[in-house]
Structure 1
Amino acid sequence: MQRSPTLKKRQRINTASSSVNATIDPGFNHRDTTAAVSSSLPRRNSFLSPIPGGFNDASTADVLLRLFLEDSDASSSTEDLSDEVQVYLHSSVLCKAKYFSTLLSDRWCKDDRNTVKKMNLGVSHSTGSMRSHLIVLQLLYADDLCAEIVSVSYAVSILHVAVKLLFEDCVKQCLRFLEAVPWNEEEEELIVNLMPILSEDESNELLARVISSRSDSCEQMLHNLLISAKQNHPNVAPVKAFVARLLREFSSRESARRVLENAFMMSLKVVKGSLEEYSSPDFRGDHNETEAIQRLNLHTALTNGKHLMWIVERMIELRVADVAVKEWSEQASFAADLQRAFQDDAWRNIVPGLPTVVLKCTSKLASAVVSGSILVSRQVRMKLVKDWLPVLIVCKDNASPVLPSHKHALHSPMSLYLELEETFLRIISTLPMDDAQELLQQCLSFSTRDSEDCPHLITAFNTWFRRATRPPLPTHLS
């Protein structure tokens, strides 16, 4: 083969490169990349048009390559190509691919140098379409592969063929492009399916985008999101709403359960610790320092209490609050600290909303038990009422006066008290008669001067008396 001057050769290669560019459409986003690339290419007549001095130029070529389909699956209605295609190529260009370089070496090729060498290349469905093979053959003539590979679907479609032909420069450029650009979900699946044909070094960067090195990465991410939602962001409500949606849509309910349970225990520990220090202070220094520490303890309890309530809401929403209910029922010392704190007047001016936050947590967990969305044992139900009923009574007795116009407001403290009273009474109705009798006697503070204002209490006692006066059931002999 006669060599052309360097300038002329570069000009011809650039011409071939322009031809390849014409086949690229970066806008394709199809699941079937064979069809996608085929539909983006010119029809047969223009696709195989010879480039002077370059691709498919019979007058200067020294290799005639026959491509043929090895199986019927490799054919496609969008190919618009025969099952067999012949294309004229140049050995000096083909040697860029090690597959052809080996075939053209002196060891395997004994033909006369002045004759056109004839070669065959099978095309199978597993290694790409006929058109994908022809694209890669065209890319052998490209001067700048970086300029040719401009879409994910295009890179995926030719990567199979480039690997097959050991066209390393093309493989590297495809991988470099795929690693650097975003993928949609469909493209990601196509790229993951490519991994088996790539070496470990070639696939490392791509795999790092789709496979985490940590087995607990999802739970760690959710944990960090919950912590972020807890922080005092300027717009904390939208952040919490976003995290709540992620939790709802997360695929593993058990992972969400573990993360929420861990967050619940952490927040509860902080709230309990703050109230314990406030109720049993052991301070040194002047009065001003003591008061400052007490204020800090109360504010810490309120801030973490609000987050605890949000965690409880998420657990109930996902129906994973059984551990939270059980833990809440075992807080006798915490409930005692709350009673002591709420019997003082200091909290009124520092954290007036703290009782509401604590009782809302109690109310939400108790309501989940009553509704049956969270099933717990009789012992847990009894302890839940026994420990938290005194807190409700103290909050109600020491609450700020409620104006008549706000007495039945939807979000007023009185509304919360009545809701929790009714919930406790309904839980008591699920307990054995002796346990119910003990707890009902502690609920007399639910009564008012007007019995019409406490129908829930009337119903609870009437239910107990009705059951207490029921005639014994007949015994059945075994």
Structure 2
Amino acid sequence: MEEPQLRFGALSSADVKLWLTGQNDRNYEGNPVFLHSVILKRSQFFVVKMSERWSSDKPTDIRVTTSHDFDFFLKCIQLMYDEPVYFSNIEECLAILLVASELLADDCINKCMQYLEAVRWSVEQESQIRDVLSSLGLKLLPDLTARLDKKDDNHIIFLEKIIDEMVSLIKDQQGRNLETAEKYIADILKGNTCREDVEVCGRVLLKEFKSSIASYNFRTIRLLIHFITRCVGEILKAAFVALCEDPKIMRYAMATSIDSGFNENIFYTVISFMQAIGDGKTTISRASRISLLTTWLPIMAEMCRKRVPYALYNSNLINPNLANLAKLDKAVLNVVESLPLVDRRSICVEWIRVYKKYDIDIAKPFTLFKDLQDAHHKSTPK
């Protein structure tokens, strides 16, 4: 005759009495819970608990103190039985998974993972799932691993091709298509876009940016700068360095300063980069910092010489007025102060030389030069 199925809490067939205690010595109101040793052996935790208590035929008393909710703890034990047990939601499943992991109950762990793999997740729930699984260090079921895996080479390849097409529209500047491309790329670079997509977009933009510099396509550079400045990390740094150190860009900036004013995107991007260097948010080599400063000094001189309201005639251009000069001066000083004393002095000498060449008041660089000299003499041992 077939043996009857063992049921959770069945008093008549139980050979184990479980006494549960919670935090602050609070006892479970349903104590004792009647269980079966053959079922509890599915948990390595209970195997150890019961190992010294099988000398008697009487029901074995086991006392367990748990920090988990009593309902979750007992539901985990129910999962060891062959009875159907249903999870109310993902949060309950994760709570039971924590118990199962502590009890070293592999069957329960797998049942939890099977449930997690099979139900719909919200963004918040996926984050919870990842956090719990990461904290437990469990070997995941293949299907759950596949669902959690965000690597999708086909997606990235497809995305990169699409962005290539969008950027080509910017490069060609084709009317309404340009607006579509601008919006598409701007949407990708927003904060709610996944990091992988932003990085792909940044790589393509940087590639096109460098290509535009190489081909003197300055109209495209203006458009691409607008998007690249929304990128982060190494992509943004590479774009900044290319922008600030490339002599072609510098010649372009000087040409526009002479002909029609300063391009707003380039001007404020350079200022932002210089401030980031001084604040330590972006690091470039000592030689690169010196190159950056010496390249921009003639442009600052042009700004000092041409204080006319270009912005009245072209909304894309900025007025090189005193306020803008002050911003650039401050940004340059940020970089100057990041250099060794010997480099600071050489930059100040070059600053004075350029301003004298353009017949511009040298008070500011000369004052800085004098302050540096005084600091040097005060710090030199006598």
Normalising to structure 1: TM-score of the pair?
0.47
Give the superposition deviation at 1:309. Answer: 3.4
Residue 372 to residue 193, structure 1, CA distance change in 2 (3 Å): closer
Q: State how 1:113-262 maps to structure 2 within 5 Å.
A: 124=64, 132-133=73-74, 145=84, 148-152=86-90, 154-155=92-93, 174-181=112-119, 182=121, 183=125, 189-191=131-133, 196=138, 203-208=141-146, 232=181, 234=183, 240=189, 242=191
For the residues of structure 2 that align with 1:309 and 1:156, how far apart are their CA atoms?
41
| 1:336 partnered with 2:274 | no
Residue 395 to residue 274, structure 1, CA distance change in 2 (3 Å): farther
Q: 1:99-123 CA distances to partner (integer Å, 9 max, x unpaired)?
A: 79xxxxxxxxxxxxxxxx9865857
Residue 379 to residue 72, structure 1, CA distance change in 2 (3 Å): same
Matched letter for residue 141 of structure 2? S
Counterpart for residue 81 of structure 1? 30
For the residues of structure 1 that align with 2:132 and 2:375, how far apart are their CA atoms?
71
Counterpart for residue 356 of structure 1? 264
For the residues of structure 2 that align with 1:166 and 1:469, how far apart are their CA atoms?
74
Q: Is the 8 A contact 1:433 1:464 kept in 2?
A: yes
Give the superposition deviation at 1:124. Answer: 4.9
Q: State how 1:351-430 maps to structure 2 within 5 Å.
A: 355-369=263-277, 379-392=287-300, 401-402=309-310, 412-414=319-321, 415-421=323-329, 423-424=331-332
For the residues of structure 2 that align with 1:417 and 1:238, how far apart are their CA atoms?
33
For the residues of structure 2 that align with 1:366 and 1:154, how far apart are their CA atoms?
51
Give the superposition deviation at 1:460. Answer: 2.5
Residue 418 to residue 151, structure 1, CA distance change in 2 (3 Å): closer
Counterpart for residue 177 of structure 2? none
Please point out which of 414, 436, 439 is paired with 2:348. 436
For the residues of structure 1 that align with 2:24 and 2:334, how far apart are their CA atoms?
71
Q: 1:178-219 CA distances to partner (integer Å, 9 max, x unpaired)?
A: 2234337666555556665xxx5x6333445667779xx9xx
Counterpart for residue 306 of structure 1? 226
Residue-pair matches, total? 332
Q: Is the 8 A contact 1:75 1:129 kept in 2?
A: no
**What SS class does the counterpart of residue 234 from structure 1 fall into?**
helix
Matched letter for residue 299 of structure 1? R
Percent identity of the aligned residues? 14
Q: Is the 8 A contact 1:64 1:118 kept in 2?
A: no
Counterpart for residue 46 of structure 2? none
Normalising to structure 2: TM-score of the pair?
0.55
**What SS class does the counterpart of residue 117 from structure 2 fall into?**
helix
For the residues of structure 2 that align with 1:383 and 1:64, how far apart are their CA atoms?
83
Counterpart for residue 45 of structure 1? none
Give the superposition deviation at 1:266. Answer: 6.8
**What SS class does the counterpart of residue 242 from structure 1 fall into?**
coil
Give the superposition deviation at 1:158. Answer: 5.8
Counterpart for residue 364 of structure 2? 459
- Bigger relative contact order, structure 1 or 2 (CA pairs below 8 A, ≥6 apart): 1
For the residues of structure 2 that align with 1:391 and 1:344, how far apart are their CA atoms?
10
Q: Is the 8 A contact 1:421 1:446 kept in 2?
A: no
Gaps of at least 5 residues in structure 1 are 4-12, 14-53, 101-116, 248-255, 279-296, 449-453
For the residues of structure 2 that align with 1:207 and 1:64, how far apart are their CA atoms?
38
